[in-house]
Chains A and B, each alone.
Chain A
Amino acid sequence: DAGVIQSPRHEVTEMGQEVTLRCKPISGHDYLFWYRQTMMRGLELLIYFNNNVPIDDSGMPEDRFSAKMPNASFSTLKIQPSEPRDSAVYFCASSPTPVTGVQNSPLHFGNGTRLTVT
């Protein structure tokens, strides 16, 4: 099992440009999560999907952020236009069952995309 795969590992872009981050979850995992990590705010949940359907996007900071999951093996997080305050590490994670409750499954994280907006 290759684990959760994210691309690119690093992205440097100029303010105003569109940024697309990609994620391939572990096969068979029905839940997919996008997190953002910064020193000041830690790990914040942006959005999560269940069976390719967005369930909770209340963590998406503003309309400049959008996420899609066109099929069970691929998801994107897009920022348009990007701003310097979007600089962070963006993680994708997947899980076979809900992350809470008696079934409890751990989140399996990718190694993240480090985004720098200048």
Chain B
Amino acid sequence: QKEVEQDPGPLSVPEGAIVSLNCTYSNSAFQYFMWYRQYSRKGPELLMYTYSSGNKEDGRFTAQVDKSSKYISLFIRDSQPSDSATYLCAMSGGATNKLIFGTGTLLAVQP
């Protein structure tokens, strides 16, 4: 079993839809949770960062962490064609300085 599981998609939605992206993980030591966005033929860029459980909102984006269920989510409201990209969850914790990434979910927002 992988430490981090993420549905690869692809996920196709119409412009304006609410998008929900999710990851599950198995390592209870993870405390730091991130979402990276990767456009085609580019490197990933940090989108959201959350420590421990709870919610964090930034504009149209909301990140949620449920440590009891080992489940994290990213919500995108009023999705735009420019949001079309691969979204990767990443997490770390314990004595390691390593980020463990999910495989990424490919999102396409249709105009």
Hey, which bits of chain A sit against chain B, CB under 8 A?
4, 31, 35, 39-45, 48, 50, 55-56, 91, 93, 98-102, 104, 106-107, 109-112
Contact = CB atoms under 8 A, between A and B. Distances in A.
Interface string B22-41: 00000000011010100001
B43 A109 contact: yes
B43 A100 contact: no
A64 B111 CA distance: 46
B88 A42 contact: yes
B49 A104 contact: yes
Given A42-B104, A43-B88, A43-B104, A100 B99 contact: yes
B32 A104 contact: yes
B44 A4 contact: no
Nearest to A102: B51
Contact of A91 (B32, B43, B93): B43
B101 A42 contact: yes
9 contacts: A91-B43, A91-B44, A99-B97, A99-B99, A100-B96, A100-B99, A107-B36, A111-B43, A112-B41
B45 interface: yes
Contact of B98 (A48, A106, A109): A48
Given A45-B99, A48-B97, A100 B32 contact: yes
Given A42-B104, A43-B88, A104-B49, A111 B97 contact: no
Nearest to A59: B98
A109 B45 contact: yes
Nearest to B45: A109
Nearest to B100: A45
3 cross-chain pairs, A with B, having the tightest CB-CB distances, nearest first:
A109-B43, A42-B103, A106-B46
A91 B6 CA distance: 20
Interface in B57-111: 88, 92-93, 96-104
